[in-house]
Amino acid sequence: MNILDAIIKQKRAEVGEKKKMIPLEEVKQSEFFNRQTLSMKAALLDVQKTGIIAEFKRKSPSKGDINKHADVVHVTTAYANNGASALSVLTDGHFFGGSPNDLIRARVNQLPIIRKDFIIDEYQIVESKAMGADAILLIAACLSPLEVKQLAEFAVLMGLEVLLELHDEDELGHICDKIDLVGINNRSLKTFEVDIERSLAMAAKIPAGKVKIAESGISSVDTIRLFKKEGFNGFLIGENFMKQENPGLAFEQFVNLLRSN
């Protein structure tokens, strides 16, 4: 069993328990459920912006604790004030140390927010809308093409955009009409090793009209420039900032460097 299998096993158990405890109608009572969502696609296509999806992440299976006690409002507000195009917030508790409350608190920002979790059920999509998310992540490695299609259609019906994450070329067949954002994760799920050539090699095979996003292993502005030349509009970066004592300041310095040339 690899780490993804373990995560999905845990997630199925969690979702099953939540369904018993909190009916959908109760989930929909959230103050955010009927808010007008913000478009992550539009934000990433805005050439005046950085294209960076700045992530708030407390820990990960590959790195352990990264910044366990960071304040989500402080960090995400600094991201927003210093040029992030969008925000990503981890809500998985068991493996990533996040919580729905992290996303809810990050909603003080007027930027598109993607809920970063392991979505396997429509219940989680309703939950995402109730948290104040504007987009959700679907991971091809843990869903069939049919499941991706069904979940993406439901998300769009709920007014949410969908980022489909791919790890290799075998997953290109998971891309469907309702997917506007396609991310290529440079980190291997099996070894946790990062190889940016993964994104570069797959870039040309992403269908026209999809917004391409590079994920994981981005730690320099030169890497962003390289990806931009290959047609990428989005760059999801988390650990590079979160591992610093002051993630917001690290982000500000990174953006200043990006804009200096």
Which residues are known to be catalytic? 55, 57, 116, 165, 185, 215-216
Burial label for 215, CB within 10 Å (0-12, 13-18, 19+), is buried
Torsion of CA 91, 92, 98, 100, to 10 degrees: 40
The length of the chain in residues reads 261
Contacts 24+ apart (CB under 8 A), 67-74: 67/242, 67/243, 67/244, 67/247, 68/97, 70/242, 70/247, 72/102, 72/105, 72/106, 73/105, 73/106, 73/108, 74/248
Of 122, 153, 113, give the one whose Cα is nearest residue 32. Answer: 113
Do the Cβ atoms of 202 and 212 come closer than 8 Å?
no
SS3 231: coil
